[in-house]
Amino acid sequence: SQTSLCSVFQHTLFTAIQKHYSLEEWKTFAASHPECLEHVAASSGSGAADLEKLCSILEAIPLIQYICLDVANGYSEHFVEFVKRVRERFPKHTIMAGNVVTGEMVEELILSGADIIKVGIGPGSVCTTRIKTGVGYPQLSAVIECADSAHGLKGHIISDGGCSCPGDVAKAFGAGADFVMLGGMLAGHDQCAGELIEKDGKKFKLFYGMSSDTAMKKYVGGVAEYRASEGRTVQVPYKGDVENTIRDILGSLHVSGEFTHQQRKFSATLRSSPCVL
């Protein structure tokens, strides 16, 4: 929602706007919240209509300088070629592309024009890809491998999925991620879409993955015959204002940095101290 974007903007957090918003909705948002535009990315699929829509959005709102090419499976020649086309069309924009989980594909996408690679297949809290398809990769292992490949080409990665607490975010950064994408940890707040649900005296909000039945019925009219739903719809406990959660995450990262920095200093001191017999 627009209110949640304003909340994350205050902390210079970054948001990739989902690809189903229309050009008119983008224009309305840009007119209402121009201060947020430098911290958002316009998302796109990999079809011809997607590229046409992306071009329309970026031409209408030139302040947007980030593009997120968002597909569930980045392992296709079609997607690689699409990244090249977008780079040719927008030579000065920052392009994020994914998702993949192996170093070879990270390198392929960076060499094709992407700046930042989204890493993660199946780790999300409402993702069922691993259950439905048998395909997935442990997220921490994927981040370690993909960060090494990206940084060797002066690229970057986003760890997408798998975080359920601030400590997981810290581990993703520690493993080499340059950015960490959150979904479930930011669900259930006042700023999230949807009405409050009350059950047995407790409050909840709906949260669903973008490959779920709920999302596909809402945005594309249903699940295509050749596809299966790869996401769940769940009720998450109501958490109040997202500002409190953001402050908790950022504060935890700060303390994590202090712990690891002091540990490195202590280890260096031990290694450099003379041995006294």
Residue 217 has pLDDT above 80, yes or no: no
> Active-site residue 55, yes or no?
no
Residue 274 has pLDDT above 50, yes or no: no
Residue 194 has pLDDT above 70, yes or no: yes
Q: What is the pLDDT of residue 121?
A: 95
Q: Which listed residue (36, 68, 129, 163) is catalytic?
A: 129
More confident residue, 126 or 44: 44
Measure CA 274 to chain center. Answer: 47
- Name every residue whose Cβ is closer than 8 Å to that of residue 223 and which is 6 or more positions away in sequence: 213, 216, 217, 229
Give the rounded percent of residues in the chain with a pLDDT score beyond 90.
66
More confident residue, 270 or 255: 255
Q: What is the pLDDT of residue 30?
A: 95
State whether residue 180 is helix, strand or coil. strand
Question: Which residues sit opposite 224 in a β-bridge?
Answer: none
Rounded to a whole number, what is the largest CA-CA distance in the chain? 76
Question: Which residues sit opposite 233 in a β-bridge?
Answer: 208
Task: State the average pLDDT over residues 12-41.
Answer: 92
Selecting from 3.90.700.10, 3.40.50.300, 1.10.510.10, 3.20.20.70, what CATH number does the domain 2-266 have?
3.20.20.70
> Active-site residue 127, yes or no?
yes
Q: What is the pLDDT of residue 277?
A: 33
Q: Which listed residue (36, 68, 127, 192) is catalytic?
A: 127
Contact 74, 102 (CB under 8 A): no
- What value does the mean pLDDT of the chain take? 88
Q: What is the pLDDT of residue 119?
A: 98
Dihedral over alpha carbons 109, 166, 200, 193 (to 10 degrees): -40
More confident residue, 209 or 150: 150
Report the distance separating Cα 223 and Cα 137, nearest Å: 25
Angle at 151 between CA 145 and CA 156, to 5 degrees: 90
